[in-house]
Amino acid sequence: MTPDRADPLETTETLAAFPARVTQARGETLEDVAFLSGAALCRLHVVLARVETPGTLLRDRLALRAAEACVAFSGRPERAADLRDAVHLLRPGDLPGPAGETALSWRRAVERPVSAAGMQRALPSLESTRLAAWLDTGSGAPVSRAARVFEAVLTEAPRAEVAALTLADAALARALGWDRVVPLLAPGLGRADLRRRGEDLRLACHRALAESAAEAVRLAGDLGRRTAHLSAVAPKLRAKGAGEAVAMFRTRDAVAASALPLPDRAARRLCDRLVDLGAVRELTGRETFRLYGV
């Protein structure tokens, strides 16, 4: 699926301004919500194709949101800040815990092109042949295909909600011609929706995608502005390795100073400098073990 050539006068920011007929409409029938989800997915498709959209960063941040939703579905108390800590402050040999495993699973799911092998890296407890069979379950329109994959996974493995949501998003991405998973279903679905089947499930998926795809477009516009500012201030940075550090901030939801390709003190100074320049934000509010992101 190749997007139509975008209007050169349009930007990701203007594309993020959805028509009121999409954002304010409240469809009740399957036909109504299919129109709304289709409109939102079409706009997102165009935004993802634009060169100024930081797609890798967008997917990483959406992966965090999907992980947060999945953790909430399981009844655990961890939220985005806890999941960032579990992933970015993990030391070699440490175990991330159940919530951290969910966050890592979603991050791995968005890192590589959609395939059974890529999905097994994200979901290592499942066999690649089984994953491939699930991915090929769906047929028809993209959202219907995703819903069928979701239902097929939970029919065979009723407690595998993370796998079901990941593979449903993978099926959606494949149907839309996206090379990587864009996490959309988990943030838009409610816990009760996980028990729906058949047409009720398709209706829930359309509603979820109408909301989450529109939110992804808005997030893309925000991240596009922020990464453009980061690129604009990059020439002011004099530290050796600053270019590699900027590249990391442009592709990751969060970065610890210790992960930057600089000595510890220089890395902390660079992060402070970027905060002063308004190019990145400190995400934790702590004095130690800080994380930074655009």
pLDDT of residue 19: 56
pLDDT in tens, the chain (294 residues): 444 444 544 555 555 555 555 555 455 788 999 999 999 999 999 999 999 999 999 999 999 999 999 999 999 999 999 999 999 999 988 999 999 999 999 999 999 999 999 999 999 999 989 999 999 987 789 999 999 999 999 999 999 999 999 999 999 999 999 999 999 999 999 999 999 999 999 999 999 999 999 999 999 999 999 999 999 999 999 888 999 999 999 999 999 999 999 999 999 999 999 999 999 999 999 999 999 999
Which residue type is seen at 129? T
- The predicted pLDDT at position 6 comes to 47
Q: Crossing angle of helices 55-73/80-88, nearest 10°? A: 110
Q: To which residue do tokens 């100073």 refer?
A: 257
Specify which residues 281 forms β-bridges with. Answer: 293
In order of their start, the domains of the chain are 19-220 (no CATH), 237-293 (1.10.10)
Two structure tokens written together for 117: 């092998």
- Provide the b/e sequence for 70-107 (b: ≥16 CB within 10 Å): bbebeeeebebebbbbbbbbbeeeeebeebbbbbbbbb
What span, in angstroms and rounded, lies between the C-alpha atoms of 211 and 83?
Answer: 23
DSSP character string of 7-57: PTT--HHHHTS--HHHHS----SHHHHHHHHHHHHHHHHHHHTSTTS-HHH
Let me know the angle formed at the C-alpha of 117 by 3 and 132, rounded to the nearest 5 degrees: 80
Residue 293 DSSP SS3:
strand
Specify the pLDDT at position 239: 87
pLDDT of residue 28: 73
For 95, the 3-state DSSP assignment is coil
Can you tell me which residue has the tokens 């109408």? 210
Phi-psi category of residue 93: left, alpha or beta, with phi > 0 → left and psi -120 to 50 → alpha: left
State the pLDDT at residue 58.
98
CB atoms within 10 A of CB 17: 12
Residue 91, classed as helix, strand or coil, is coil
Cα–Cα distance, 8 to 151 (Å, whole number) = 41
Q: 22 with 36: CB under 8 angstroms?
A: yes
Task: Specify the pTM.
Answer: 0.91
Kindly report the length of the chain: 294
Cα–Cα distance list, 162 to 44, 63, 109, 229, 236 (Å): 23, 12, 11, 35, 43
